Structure 1
Amino acid sequence: MAEDKKKTQDEVSPDAAEKTKSSPAKKSTKPTASKKTTAKSSAKPAAKKTVKTTPKTTPQKSKKKASHFKLTEKDGIGLLLFDMAGKSVNIFNEEVLRELESVCDELVDNTSMRALILTSGKKTNFIAGADIDGIKDITDPAEGEKIGKEGQRIFGKFSYLPMPKIAFINGTCMGGGTELSLAADYRITIDKSHVKIGLPEVMLGILPGWGGTQRLPRLIGIQKALDYILTGRRINAKKALRDGVVDQVIPAEIPDKEVLPAVYKFVEDVLTPAGKARVEKRRNRKNNMQSYLLEKNPLGRKVLFDQARKMTLKTSKGHYPAPLRALEAVQQGMNTSLSEGLGIEAKFLGELVVTPVCKNLVKVYHLTEELKKDNGAPEFKGDALIFQRVGVLGAGVMGGGIAQLMAHKGYPVRMKDINLTAIAKGMEQASSVFSGMVKKRRLKPREMNEKMGLISGTTDYSGFNKVDLVIEAIIEKLDIKKTVFAELDKTVPEQTIIASNTSSLPVSEMASATKRPEKVAGLHFFNPVHRMPLVEVIRGNKSSDETIVSLVEFSRAIGKTAIVVKDSPGF
């Protein structure tokens, strides 16, 4: 907080120097927000100018131009709602940034507002980041650097507003969204599965260019920040709280109608000296002995950065320049002011955005996004089947891994193998994955026990009369698989889909052993199941569109990216 409160003047000095000249003109293009500002402080010269210019230019423009931000106020606390018009998620493009800047210009002289909450109007998304198309055609490093500086400048305006700013992260928060939240004084989120926070820019061959490499290390410490910046890791609400990225997490059990009141309660608390002190104390926990030895003295910092550089080179093999440049941005930036650090960050962004690596990774990103939209049956107009219970045949490494993933996502799982010893090994496999999550503090022991309780074992088909999806993961021998499929066909309900985890055998041959070939397909997971992001959905000769679409949607529901392939040797 001391650092946040000390916002350096040079960070936003160009705008601070010009705000009295530029604000009225910007306000004239923002009729809705200007009227609200006028109502609150009609005595201010800027507000009067807005009222005069509004009738001349605003009515026609407001009908043509969508508004992405809505500002309201209650009991002296402003609520700035970002709800991008015509989009399912919020992203930053030039139009959005200009409107955000206009809102900041309206608020910069507002001394009556006690606090400002920034949140999203989307149900499961806060801000997805910047529009990737904004960088794909850049060939001049100076142009890339300019984009970095422009985003930094506007976020600097937000950071320098006179009232405390609170980011309520109510959904996915990536890249520029995380960087804007770091420009706020406080961050609060909710413990929901759709809340993921990260700085994934290195996955696109660039670095966080709107303050991420500078503000995050100053907030949570260098060592923790590097883990985010160099890996593109996405974290949930609980880890964000542990690491100090957010200041409070609203429990998942709170009803939806009580969530926003909980945010206002947090705001009222941090506006008091005692509440502010509690946040300060929690943040200062990072200043322990280890932090002092590694981060608070030149020798310790050198060791820290040297080790980070070695690990980065080991991982990237030197083929990806972005992580190394990001590391350098943090190292140089932490030895100077925030303003100068931001300049270093923008310069490195310009250098990276024109590299072939960046261009290729952006292409990969777009292909992946297109793949996510492909359900494997574009002509299918029906609804995907919803699976409630899953059966797994085979309790080996793959079977146990699949059972663990199902249980982790909340599905009751019935796992079958030929004897209890095999079942025990499958349970052990699932338990080992959960134990690793507990060790990394991604799960609590109680949660692990609850999830393990969703997995049950059997040596016969008892319980399979209740499943609506079976995933077969037994030995890779076609005759054995066909025998098992024939047994399943007689056991499971008529609507149940039977999927094979085979990596090479013909799915159509397995389907021929059943009387429901239209409900048979392949669902091939890669090992280790809990880490590998892709699954193959294999369409057999007679697999129905409904079956394929249902498996694709199910794959997405468990956090995987599905690739639909034809049933051919090796797929």
Structure 2
Amino acid sequence: MADWEQVSLRLRTRRPQADILIISLVNGPYNFLDRQCFDELNAIIAPLDIKTTRAVILTGGVKDIFVLHYNVDEIIDFGLSVPSWLPTPPFMLRAALRLESMIASLGLRFLVRKTLFAGVADLNLYKEVCNLFRSKPQVFIAAINGACFAGGCEFALACDYRVLIDTQTPVMGQIESLIGLIPGGGGTQFFSRTLGTAKALELCLEGKTLNSSEALELGLVNRVTPAEDLLPTAIEVAQRLARRSPYVIQAIKDSIHIGSSLTLSDGLLREQGWFGGAALMAETHEAMKKYARLIEEERPHTLDDFQDYLQPFANGTFFDFTPGSAKSATSTKTVKTD
């Protein structure tokens, strides 16, 4: 496996194989998220090309800490920057967030950061980077190597898949209410969508922390593994899921993240649009033809037959969904025929 490369002040990376990128946050001593961290993450993740990177693993580079939480000093600075006489009800802050997003889309966020609303820009940047996790065609996997609270918990929940070290000590939770805050990086929304309203209210109001078995039982993480197996397990998951069609990965993520918040009718329509698009992909078309030939030739009937028969599909070795692979295969066939 390649050595770690320090690519920016707070991030280092390595590639266990060419199309899998591991990003490690190194912001000692507590691995806080902050403005600098999200600027650096945005610079790495936004330009990722599916032709070169099929999966991204995010982990902590500080022993026993994934992300402790967001840097409280930056939140304090935001509170001090806004004059006490200035009315700031939630609806005004929501309007400020929308306005800042428009300004940022014009490439002018640096101007906002020179004003008393710099904290608004930071809130939007947090959301934008996490939206990249949810919208890009790569699979994003959080390899949670330790403490993962508040903003760190939200950061992990923004990923598609989560692997957590096995520990009986508290390791995850939305603890903001304990110091007079609420989750600001999506925690209320992730918890309510994952756990339901009652459990989300309980955990967010109490600021309750969870050990790994509790997080797994609730469905906040997908796998629990011994600490020494954390990255190997995350890499194994990345290798398997990276073999899926990038179009399908993006379609499923969009249908679930966006479609599930729409009405059932609109959600179904969104899903059907992606389904139709997938059916028109050259790689999907070739994979379906290969499948039809295989089932005609092997004619599986028993459960044991189906178990053996489906294994290549599950591990992603049945067909190469690399963009352009169908065209390459067709070209090779043409050359052989000639």
- Report the TM range for the smaller structure's normalisation: 0.5 to 0.7
Kindly provide the amino acid, as one letter, of the partner of residue 149 in structure 1: N
How many Å separate the matches in 2 of 1:145 and 1:202? 20
Name the count of aligned residue pairs. Answer: 211
How many Å separate the matches in 2 of 1:213 and 1:69? 28
Write the deviation string for residues 126-154 of structure 1: whole angstroms up to 9, x where unpaired: 00111111122415344455443232122
Question: Which SS does the other structure have where 1:112 is aligned?
Answer: coil
| Match of residue 224, structure 1, among 180, 185, 199 | 199
Superposed, which structure 2 residues align to 1:5-44 within 5 Å? Answer: 33=7
Write the deviation string for residues 341-390 of structure 1: whole angstroms up to 9, x where unpaired: xxxxxxxxxxxxxxxxxxxxxxxxxxxxxxxxxxxxxxxxxxxxxxxxxx
Determine if the alignment matches structure 1 residue 187 to structure 2 residue 165: no
Question: Which SS does the other structure have where 1:218 is aligned?
Answer: helix
Determine if the alignment matches structure 1 residue 196 to structure 2 residue 138: no
Question: Which SS does the other structure have where 1:151 is aligned?
Answer: helix
Partner of residue 126, structure 1:
66
Rate the CA distance shift 1:265–1:149 in 2: closer, same or farther, 3 A.
same
Deviation at 1:32, TM superposition (A): 6.6
| Match of residue 105, structure 1, among 15, 23, 46 | 46
Write the deviation string for residues 379-405 of structure 1: whole angstroms up to 9, x where unpaired: xxxxxxxxxxxxxxxxxxxxxxxxxxx
Structure 2 contact 138–242 (Cα < 8 Å) conserved: no
Determine if the alignment matches structure 1 residue 265 to structure 2 residue 236: yes
Kindly provide the amino acid, as one letter, of the partner of residue 78 in structure 1: L
Superposed, which structure 2 residues align to 1:52-451 within 5 Å? Answer: 67-75=9-17, 76-84=19-27, 87-107=28-48, 109-137=49-77, 138=79, 140=82, 141=88, 142=93, 143=117, 145-193=120-168, 196-250=171-225, 252=226, 256=228, 258-271=229-242
Deviation at 1:263, TM superposition (A): 2.4
Structure 1 contact 104–161 (Cα < 8 Å) conserved: no
Deviation at 1:176, TM superposition (A): 1.1
Identical positions, percent: 28
How many Å separate the matches in 1 of 2:123 and 2:262? 19
Rate the CA distance shift 1:336–1:226 in 2: closer, same or farther, 3 A.
farther
Kindly provide the amino acid, as one letter, of the partner of residue 41 in structure 2: L
How many Å separate the matches in 2 of 1:67 and 1:215? 29
Write the deviation string for residues 18-69 of structure 1: whole angstroms up to 9, x where unpaired: xxxxxxxxxxxxx975xxxxxxxxxxxxxxxxxxxxxxxxxxxxxxxx6211
Question: Which SS does the other structure have where 1:136 is aligned?
Answer: helix
Structure 1 contact 124–194 (Cα < 8 Å) conserved: no
RMSD: 2.9
Deviation at 1:213, TM superposition (A): 1.5
Rate the CA distance shift 1:210–1:232 in 2: closer, same or farther, 3 A.
same
Deviation at 1:199, TM superposition (A): 0.9
Question: Which SS does the other structure have where 2:52 is aligned?
Answer: coil
Deviation at 1:216, TM superposition (A): 2.5
How many Å separate the matches in 2 of 1:219 and 1:266? 21
Rate the CA distance shift 1:218–1:184 in 2: closer, same or farther, 3 A.
same
Deviation at 1:187, TM superposition (A): 0.6
Deviation at 1:200, TM superposition (A): 0.8
Rate the CA distance shift 1:259–1:96 in 2: closer, same or farther, 3 A.
closer
Deviation at 1:171, TM superposition (A): 0.2
Which structure has the larger Rg over C-alpha atoms?
Answer: 1
TM-score computed with the length of structure 1 as normaliser: 0.34
Instruction: List alignment gaps of at least 5 residues for structure 2.
Output: 83-87, 94-116, 264-338
Structure 1 contact 220–244 (Cα < 8 Å) conserved: yes
Structure 1 contact 149–210 (Cα < 8 Å) conserved: no
How many Å separate the matches in 2 of 1:261 and 1:150? 31
Rate the CA distance shift 1:261–1:222 in 2: closer, same or farther, 3 A.
same
Structure 2 contact 32–67 (Cα < 8 Å) conserved: yes
Structure 1 contact 91–127 (Cα < 8 Å) conserved: yes
Structure 2 contact 69–151 (Cα < 8 Å) conserved: yes
Rate the CA distance shift 1:265–1:181 in 2: closer, same or farther, 3 A.
same
Partner of residue 311, structure 1:
none
Higher relative contact order (CA 8 A, sep 6+): 2
Partner of residue 271, structure 2:
none
How many Å separate the matches in 2 of 1:172 and 1:164? 23
How many Å separate the matches in 1 of 2:13 and 2:139? 16
Question: Which SS does the other structure have where 2:142 is aligned?
Answer: strand
Instruction: List alignment gaps of at least 5 residues for structure 1.
Output: 1-30, 34-65, 285-333, 338-571
Partner of residue 379, structure 1:
none
